[in-house]
């Protein structure tokens, strides 16, 4: 009996980005499994966030290709990539600090123009959905608060709700547990598992190894701008290439 072939949501081929003489991403060829929780780990400075930025159009790669669900999206603008179904959060939350929590989520409406979104031109269905998402992430009681007045962990949840408002198929999270208390880390992990069970693919950059190993199905390890190993979390914990990258052993 043959096993079901693994589908890949996101693939890169020889993706490269240099800053001056430093190759932050160095001919990275990597695949992430569709319908799974993928982790992207590696030492500080290994190119993970730059890789995210190249994939999502925040910066243009020098060379190589990015393919999302069979479609070449290399160098496309961030809004085009988002419309293709690829959403992301950032290492440092990107929110509108002087807007309310509810309006921050409404800013993620895929079909609306940015000017209309920021002017508060929303239909009742969008408002109802935004409130549902706030309830889902557990901060519905804060909808009238300005985003700058809620805790950093709550801002992480708010950013995730805004990403979900655009209805992405794949969600890239850059250090979702960074600076967050253990209770909210647990809440984020539960949300990721629930959303994955509903069919969403995740690609998560994270330094919290306990979270990575308990949450992910597939782990890709970066070092010096390129993948050096990939596989099941348990295998990566004992892979000599990974130990060398992290510990120099």
Q: What is the pLDDT of residues 5-36, one digit of tens each?
A: 678 889 999 999 999 889 999 999 999 999 99
Q: Which one, of 3, 58, 54, lies nearest residue 24 by Cα?
A: 54
State residue 5's pLDDT score: 66
pLDDT in tens, 55-113: 999 999 999 999 999 999 999 999 999 999 999 998 778 889 999 999 999 987 755 44
State residue 4's pLDDT score: 58
Q: Taking a C-beta distance cutoff of 8 angstroms, is the pair 167, 8 a contact?
A: no
Q: What is the DSSP secondary-structure string of the chain?
A: -PPPPPPEEEEEEEEEEEETTEEEEEEEEEEEETTSEEEEE-STTSSHHHHHHHHTTSS--SEEEEEETTEE-TT--HHHHHHTTEEE--SS----TTSBHHHHHHTT-SSS-HHHHHTT---HHHHHHHHHHHHHHT-GGGTTSBGGGS-HHHHHHHHHHHHHHT--SEEEEESTTTT--HHHHHHHHHHHHHHHHTT-EEEEE-S-HHHHHHH-SEEEEEETTEEEEEE-HHHHHT-HHHHHHHH--
Domain boundary assignment for the chain: 1-85+170-244, 94-167
State residue 247's pLDDT score: 55
pLDDT band at 52 (very low <50, low <70, confident <90, very high): very high
pLDDT in tens, 118-147: 555 568 889 999 999 999 999 999 999 999
For residue 178, pLDDT over 50 is answered with: yes
State residue 122's pLDDT score: 66
Identify the residue whose tokens are 């557990």: 138
CATH topology for 1-85+170-244 is: Rossmann fold (3.40.50)
State the Cα–Cα distance between residues 118 and 115, nearest whole angstrom.
5
Retrieve residue 247's tokens.
């510990």
pLDDT in tens, 141-169: 999 999 999 999 899 999 999 999 999 99
Residues 6+ apart with CB under 8 A from 8: 31, 32, 33, 34
Retrieve residue 59's tokens.
């910066």
State mean pLDDT over 184-201.
94
More confident residue, 246 or 230: 230
State residue 1's pLDDT score: 43
State the Cα–Cα distance between residues 44 and 241, nearest whole angstrom.
16
């Amino acid at each position: 009996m043959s096993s079901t072939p693994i589908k890949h949501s996101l693939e890169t081929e020889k993706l490269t980005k240099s800053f001056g003489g430093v190759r932050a991403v160095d001919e990275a060829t990597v695949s992430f499994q569709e319908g799974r929780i993928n982790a992207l780990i590696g030492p500080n400075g290994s190119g993970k966030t730059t890789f995210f930025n190249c994939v999502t159009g925040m910066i243009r790669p020098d060379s190589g290709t990015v393919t999302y669900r069979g479609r070449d999206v290399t160098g496309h603008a961030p809004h085009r990539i988002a419309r293709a179904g690829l959403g992301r959060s950032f290492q440092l939350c990107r929110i509108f600090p002087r807007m309310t929590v509810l309006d921050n989520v409404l800013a993620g409406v895929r079909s609306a123009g940015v000017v209309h979104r920021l002017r508060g031109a929303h239909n009742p269905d969008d408002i109802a959905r935004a409130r549902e998402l706030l309830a889902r992430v557990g901060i519905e009681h804060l909808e009238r608060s300005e985003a700058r007045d809620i805790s950093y962990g709550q801002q992480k949840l708010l950013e995730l709700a805004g990403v979900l408002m655009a209805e992405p198929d794949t969600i890239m999270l850059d250090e979702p547990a960074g600076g967050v208390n253990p209770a909210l880390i647990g809440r984020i992990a539960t949300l990721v598992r629930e959303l994955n069970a509903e069919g969403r693919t995740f690609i998560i950059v994270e330094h919290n190894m306990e979270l990575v190993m308990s949450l992910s199905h597939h782990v890709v390890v970066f070092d010096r701008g390129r993948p050096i190993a990939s596989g099941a979390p348990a295998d990566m914990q004992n892979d000599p290439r990974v130990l060398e990258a992290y510990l120099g052993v």
